[in-house]
Amino acid sequence: MWLITGLILGAALLGVILWLRGKNMSFTWYEWLIGIVSLLLLLFTIQNFAGSFAEMEPFAAWLFLPVTGLPAVILMVLVWQLASRRQKAN
Amino acid sequence: MSKFHSTVSRRDFMKTLGLAGAGLGAAAALSPVFHDIDEVVASPTAENKRPWWIKNRELGDTTLEVDWDMMVRPDGRVSGQQTETQVHYLGQEEVTRRLSSNILSPNIEDAKNNKPGNTLRDQALGFSSIVPMLIHPTDFMGPQMRPTPAMTGAPKWQGTPEENSRMVRSALTFFGAGMVGFGEVSKQEREKLFYTYHKQVPNKQQVFEDVDLGYEDADKYVFPNKPLYRISMTLPMSREMYRTSDRSQLQFASNVSRYRHFSMLQPAFQEFIRGIGYQCYGYPAPVAGPMPAAASAILSGLAEASRNSGYCIDPEYGPVSGFFTLITDLPLEPTPPIDAGIWRFCQTCNKCAENCPNQVIPYDHEPSWEPPTFYGKPDIMHPLGKRMFYTDHVGCWMYCFEGGCGACMATCTFNVNGSAMVHDAVKATLATTPILNGFLWQADKTFGYGLKSEEEKEEWWDLSLPSMGWDTASFSKHGGY
């Protein structure tokens, strides 16, 4: 699972960096910080989602999506919005 | 250079390959390589490694507060599992009524109704799980089949206590144990922890005499008055089967599996110790040893005390473990008690008490030196001298024996499997940040961990689970398991 997660993550990061370069955008330090936190939270969610199913705890698995997955997505959207609004303002 | 081609030149590639090869060679040269068992034993890496959040304490300094002055040697004949104690509290008539039908007798009604956890196949499995213990009785002195070095003229094994500890741990793990810890049997322990009368052979005393080799006669088990060491070990059991509690023969099959394993382990280990020139004093019956196994496990750092005074909790595997204690004259290096935040957590968490079908586990949040009264009579079940919570062991045992239980261990916040990383995060958090204990046990309830529903119980038969019901690689650190 981690191999596939790593491949997807690597591809996604590369995509983000290329997209940023293409748009001539950059992140501030706190956007990077929030981004890394949201990424770690997303990885935590994915691991526990899959791990809980492996443990035959489907209720716990699904509960990880709103409890840790949703905040991860919200933080990612926040970073995107912060960066794009700053870009527009400039 | 074209962007469609590799930017690594042949020269760079070969250089990198060379560096990688050199790196691998250096790593191989620095890695421990064992040529024979002597090297394994002598290597410090043969020790069990534990997670960083399990802290060692000073020898004798358990997280459960103990007042050795208050303690007296426990009498094995006076516990909640003994009929005499049950009669003392409940009266002969009630005890006879409640024991008339028990977990070992066929329940025809449940078999006819295919009651989950008590179907015909569940009942057959529960009983069969205990059978090897019944036909392989264990012995205080061991089988004594192998000639000792003194008989053959071979030199007796001589190792440092540290080497001996690693050797014993390896042997016991091979024979089926989980975690293994050690301690020297102090004068204090001889006078305060060893049962006066054995718990399972109630007509026999346990005594210390000035002899070189212990022995057993019709009235007593004799330990020699010389340096002795205790070996404490866990025999983990199936968590999945426990989760079918209560009133489940699947849980019962798991519950007694530790005795089945121990009845194989003990004679093998006794012969091993005899073969190297020492003596191991074992259980005369697989269900009870020389002292309360939980006390030894806590002193040896395998576990911490828990809210239910009937068991203790191993930080790695949780509460679904059996604990056993063997005594030997082979010098061993003591392992210290631990602090993994478990005992502190139990003072907040009430999950086992809430899920106890017989409501015999206290809800208090402050442990006490003073036991309560049970059934209007003073407590004779718990030896004094520990600041703890007092479970009604008569009520607990009788309910278990009637139809099986174990709901407390099954639902315990520490009874979790190992796939989801959240469990390690929770254990590390509660070990270091007790202020979150209340939140963490509420979260455990919210996430639905614990007992299976009636509909889910029989699913066990369709699962693919580890041999013996538990992951024997749980504690292994070598070999890539």
Contact A55 B417 (CB under 8 A): yes
B218 touching chain A per CB within 8 A: no
Per-residue tokens: B420: 């989801």
How many alpha carbons fall within 13 Å on the CB side of residue B189? 20
Cα dist from B46 to B97, B287, B478, whole Å: 53, 30, 9
Q: Is B444's Cβ below 8 Å from some Cβ in A?
A: no
C-beta atoms surrounding B8 within 10 Å: 10
Inter-chain contacts counted by CB atoms under 8 A, chains A and B: 38
User: What pLDDT, on the 0 to 100 scale, is given for residue B48?
Assistant: 65
What's this model's pTM, rounded to 2 decimal places? 0.88
Using a CB-CB cut-off of 8 Å, the residues of chain B touching A63 are: 446-448
Nearest chain B CA: its distance from A40 CA (Å):
13
Q: Could you say which DSSP state residue B219 is in?
A: S
Nearest to B418 by CA among A48, A70, A13, A81: A48
Q: Report the distance separating Cα B283 and Cα B279, nearest Å.
A: 13
Are residues A52 and B420, on separate chains, in Cβ contact within 8 Å? yes
SS (H, E, C) A7-36: HHHHHHHHHHHHHHHHCCCCCCHHHHHHHH
Chain-chain contact of B240 with A57 (C-beta, under 8 angstroms):
no
Residues of chain B with pLDDT under 50: 1-8, 10, 12-14, 16-35, 40, 42-43, 45-46
Asked if A47 and B447 come within 8 Å (Cβ–Cβ), the reply is: no
Residues of chain A with pLDDT under 70: none
For residue B47, the model assigns a pLDDT of 54
> What was the ipTM of the complex prediction?
0.89
Contact check, Cβ <8 Å, B421/A47: yes
Q: SS3 of A45, please?
A: helix
Q: How many degrees, rounded to 5, is the angle at CA B264 between CA B262 and CA B269?
A: 85
Q: Using CA atoms, how far apart are residues B43 and B481, in angstroms rounded to an integer?
A: 19
Segment (H or E) for B181: strand B180-184
Residues of B whose CB is below 8 A from A56: 240, 463
Q: Evaluate whether B404 touches B245 at the Cβ level (below 8 Å).
A: yes
Contact between chains at B421 and A44 (C-beta distance less than 8 A):
yes
Q: Which residues contact B460 (CB under 8 A, 6 or more apart)?
A: B240, B241, B244, B250
Distances (CA, A) of A87 to A13, A29, A65: 20, 15, 31
Q: Helix or strand or coil: residue B205?
A: strand
Contacting A residues, span 14-53, partner chain B, CB-CB under 8 Å: 44, 47-48, 50-52
Pick from B178, B53, B166: nearest CA to B431: B53
- Contact state of A51 with B421 under an 8 Å Cβ cutoff: yes
Greatest Cα pair distance in chain B: 96
Minimum Cα–Cα distance from A68: chain B residue: B422
The whole-number pLDDT of residue B418 equals 92
Q: Which residues of A touch B449 (CB under 8 A)?
A: 57, 60
pLDDT at res. B29: 43
- B448 in A contact zone (CB under 8 Å): yes
Closest CA to B324 of B272, B286, B357: B286
* pLDDT digits 0-9 by tens, B323-361: 999 999 999 999 999 999 999 999 999 999 999 999 999
Those residues with Cβ within 8 angstroms of residue B154's Cβ, 6 or more apart along the chain or in another chain: none
- pLDDT attached to residue B150: 96
Q: Are B382 and B371 in contact (CB under 8 A)?
A: yes
